[in-house]
Amino acid sequence: MVLKDEAKLPQEANLRDRLLDVAKAQQRKVENKQWKYQWFGKPQTVRDTIERILNLISQSAGLISIGMTYAPPYVSLPWSVATSLIPLMMNEFNEHKAAIDGLETTVKLIFGYQLAEKAFLVKEETRNVYEEAVFDPYKKILYYQAMAIRFFGRSTLRRLGKNILGSK
C-alpha cells in the first residue's frame, strides 16, 4: 500500500493505528523537500522567499502598471507578460500551502480520534457505535493522504506547468 510505503511502515501494520505516523511522515517529507539557504544565520526556504516577493509584486502591480502606460513598449511588454504569469505562480503557492495546512489538520484529527478510541473502544456498548461513526472520516483521511502523496510526488516545475496549462 502506498501510504505504508511513504511512512516506511511494514505492510502487515494496522493502518488505522498508524495514521498519525503516516501523516507526520508526509509532513516531514514536504518540509525536507524544500530548498533552503542561510540568511543571517537563520534557515530560509526558497519557496517562502519567492512567495513573499510575488506577493509584494502582486500588491504593487496596479501602481506599477499605471507607470508602465507611459513607458516605452520594450519596457511595458515584459511587465505585461510578468503580471500575467504572477497569478498562475501564486495559484501553485496557494495549493501547496493548502496541502500543508490539510496535512496539519489531518495530524490533529488523527490524534483526537486516537484519544477518543482509548475511551470508546474499551467499552463494548460504545465500540460498535464509535467504529461506525469514524469509518467515513477515516476513509476521507486516507483519501486525502493519498492525494497529498500524489500532489507532493510531482516536481514543482510539473505543478507550475500544470497550473499554466490549466490541467489537473
pLDDT tens by residue, 44-78:
877 778 878 888 887 887 887 787 777 888 877 88
Q: Per-residue pLDDT for 86 more than 80?
A: no
* Pairing of the two strands 36-39 and 42-45: antiparallel
Q: Per-residue pLDDT for 33 more than 70?
A: no
Q: Say how far apart CA 86 and CA 75 lie, in whole Å.
A: 17
pLDDT at 18: 66
Cell 456498548 -> residue: 125
The average pLDDT across 83-99 equals 76
Q: How many CA atoms lie within 13 A of 97 on its CB side?
A: 9
pLDDT at 111: 77
Q: Per-residue pLDDT for 1 more than 60?
A: no
Q: Say how far apart CA 141 and CA 152 lie, in whole Å.
A: 16
Q: Let me know: does 4 contact 15? Beta carbons within 8 Å.
A: yes
Q: Per-residue pLDDT for 90 more than 80?
A: no
Rg (CA), the chain: 22
Encoded amino acid at 39, one letter: W
pLDDT at 8: 67
Q: Is 50 helix (H, G, I), strand (E, B) or coil?
A: helix
